[in-house]
Amino acid sequence: MSKVLATFAFFLICFFTYGFYISQFELSFNLRKTTTTGFYYDYKLGMNIHSNLSIGSEPLSVILSEARKSENKLIMMTDLNPQVKTPNDSYLMNIGVLQGAKYGYKDSRLIYYSTKEKNLGLKSGESQLMLSDLLSESTQKNSDTLLVLAHPFKSDFNWKGDLPEGLDGIEIANLKSLAQRSWNYSRLSTIWSLMLYPFNPQYALMRLFQEPTEELMLFDQVSQTRRLVAFQGAEASARAIPLADWLIKFPSYERVLSMASNHLLLTSELTGNMTEDSQKILTALKRGQFYICFDTLGNPNGFEAYLFKENDRQRYSMGSEVEYSDNLRLYFKLPAEPTSFYEVVLYKNGQRVDTINTFEGILPLQGPGTYRVQVRISPRFPLPDAIKWLTWIYTNNFYVVSPK
């Protein structure tokens, strides 16, 4: 018995010693300072967030406090199948609050947001009819609403069949879905992350990340035939482990909202008047005028990517449709140069066509097609993980069409 206790004590000491080592690790990679200035206003938006009105654990006031800590400028509330009237969009605690909803639809879940009609406590049949009507129409016709397919490949919520015409976009990086995929890929690694969480929550969560290959394949495939927007979903509820009458709020709203988000790139500032700003925000979301970033890897403020034509000062933002010409180029700029290994990858119709290893550059385009950019980095993680390539930034599409 004494040998067993001694062995247990030895492993416990080793584990806490390693935990102390892990606690000193800074996940965010360093950036070499530059003097470049930005062209866009960058607004960090977290979406797919649940309050205690549905499956979340906290009221909106607490979520706002957590969102401030994670430096969100905007959040979109998406309580599941809400049965009460949804409040109007507003600015609260200097954060823009967009009031959306999340509905079960067939075997999937859809995020719904509108600048006009808010949910009035629809019954199940009424919400299904509303969603069915919206999905059957074109996204251009429904200019006041946004419909996003949440976690298209999450277990028990898989979308079956073709994507309907009225769907604006899909979540390519839903955090809960990615965590579930990590569990299916390696349960031992997932358990190890849970054990490391008390010592370094950011690192423990980030090491669960698996590239959303299936979601990207679907996104690239559909984008070749029609416009589709890629979204990041926090799936934040802080309601993971019930214990008697007490809930272990894991991971917290702050942790989840700090990990990844959507970054709207606007050419003019928001006014602070939600009546005016909500339509501007919705237009950017429907167009795909934003990028997805794993913020826990590094602050992306200052990132830019746009199309331009040589000898022409006009710039075309993400989501734009531009006629192809020989002088059409894609410009990108990182906020600064990472000190870790990194690469900027250009994709055309889902295929990798060019790679560059500078923090700022101009990429020629190879004819008409759907283009997007991924910024990948390779920070050195603590042992036993060592070096691992991770995607830091995903842009939305640029649509380059044949000249008429």
Strand partners, 101: 79, 112
Give the pLDDT confidence of 118-161 residue by residue, as tens digits: 655 666 667 777 888 888 877 777 888 999 999 898 877 777 78
119's tokens = 């949910």
Contact 232, 226 (CB under 8 A): no
DSSP percent split of the chain into helix, strand, coil, nearest 5: 25, 35, 40
CB 53 within 8 A of CB 85: no
Whether the model pTM is above 0.85:
yes
Q: What pLDDT was estimated at residue 298? A: 87
Nearest to 254 by CA among 295, 291, 292, 282: 295
Q: Which segments in the chain show pLDDT lower than 70? A: 1, 10, 15-16, 18, 21, 27-37, 117-125, 240-250
Residue closest to 31 by CA, chosen among 290, 257, 297, 344: 297
Place of tokens 């879940």: 109
Query: For the chain, what are the domain ranges?
Result: 40-295, 302-404
Instruction: Provide the 3-class DSSP secondary structure of residue 235.
Output: coil
Provide the pLDDT for residue 35. Answer: 44
How much is the pLDDT for 241?
A: 57
Q: Domain 40-295 belongs to what topology?
A: TIM Barrel (3.20.20)
Backbone angles phi, psi at 110, to 5 degrees: -120, 135
Q: What is the CATH number of domain 302-404?
A: 2.60.40
pLDDT of 34: 47
